[in-house]
A = this chain, B = another copy of it.
Amino acid sequence: MRTRANKQSGATIKDVADLAGVSAMTVSRVLNSGHRVRPATQERVEAAIRELNYRPNLSARSLAKARSLFIGLLYNNPNPGYVSELLIGLMNRCRQVGYHLVIENFGSTDEEWAADIDGLLSSSNFDGLIVAPPVSDFDSVISAIERADLPCVRIAPEQEPDLFASVRTDDRDAARRMTRHLLDLGHRRLGFIAGDAGHGASRQRMSGFCAALEDAGIELEDALIVEGRFTYRSGLAAAEKLLSMPEPPTAIFASNDDMAAAVVGVAARKGIDVPGQLSVAGFDDTHTATTLWPQLTTVRQPIADMAGAAVDLLTAAINAEPDQDVAQTQRLLPCEVIIRDSSCPVAPDRG
């Protein structure tokens, strides 16, 4: 019985085998990295595959392999732009390597996840897991995965060396380069708006900022560093604080775009021209960065690359022998500093 679902390319491995004059086994071998197959045979098989437009049935394959071919993505939604790009990057790479991505999202706190994570891991049959921030730092989740003995890759986790593999961007280096950009424009009083203290990336970005100042021989001034929480609202308060100082900074580097947008908003209220009187820099290159006037100088993370790397690491771990230690690879990817209209050389009268 050919149903609608498979009538489109109804060829099975048997059909291919018949056409090529070999057994199904040989076709299977050709498909799965054709080792132990004579080149001539391989070519005949591949010709047959092309001719019949044969596509292996994924269900049958995963059934036979006792692998679900499913990868779970554990995340929650801190930022739609980030999530969207991450999802697409993951999906694309997954498809290339024959896996499927299943999304799981319980809540925004460690506790909310703790309640359901064990049930999830035992009931869904994932071959492995990718964990995106901030879930990648939830203890309950990580230890549950450890208990379940599932391969796992963490994206941008806080702690460095770990039981699991991880992919992260070099936020510290990027913040350092962005700060250097502002210094190169002649700015000397730089304000910094930190992100959520519990977020690993926050510390890295702040550390990069401080390092660049140190490189330039400028001493840190505590009042110029204010704490935010990555939200627009927290950015408003921080910007208000910085811009009402007796001697305000000539440039402000916010730890993400939302807070940078808040700086631009507050500046507009106060009649401070951006970038004429105040340069502003953000981080993340979200949609917001270009939906603002002036468009934001910011840092772009290689999200698609990270996604690809995460999938690669995970599939490697899935296919590795249990006693191998490839499962703990750490990968660090560089960011790109994007210069737009919100930063310019310091005004001469305020040098």
Contact = CB atoms under 8 A, between A and B. Distances in A.
Contacts of A25: none
A84 B132 CA distance: 15
A193 to B, nearest CB: 15
Given A80-B80, A83-B84, A60 B63 contact: yes
A1 B66 contact: yes
Interface residues of A, number: 63
Given A57-B125, A84-B83, A258-B291, A149 B4 contact: yes
B121 A8 contact: yes
A103 B125 contact: no
9 contacts: A3-B67, A4-B127, A5-B127, A53-B123, A57-B125, A58-B68, A80-B80, A84-B87, A88-B103
A5 B80 CA distance: 31
A134 interface: no
Interface centre among A70, A127, A293 (most CB of B within 10 A): A293
A-B pairs with the 5 shortest C-beta distances?
A: A265-B293, A80-B84, A84-B84, A59-B63, A59-B62
A143 B22 CA distance: 38
Contacts of A8: 121-122, 125, 148
Interface string A94-106: 0100001011010
A108 interface: no
Contacts of A121: 8
Interface string A306-327: 0000000000000000100000
Contacts of A66: 1-3, 5-6
Interface in A244-295: 258, 261-262, 265-266, 268-269, 286-288, 290-293
Nearest to A1: B66
A141 B59 CA distance: 26
B288 A288 contact: yes
Contacts of A322: 4
A292 B123 contact: no
A265 B105 CA distance: 35
A23 interface: no
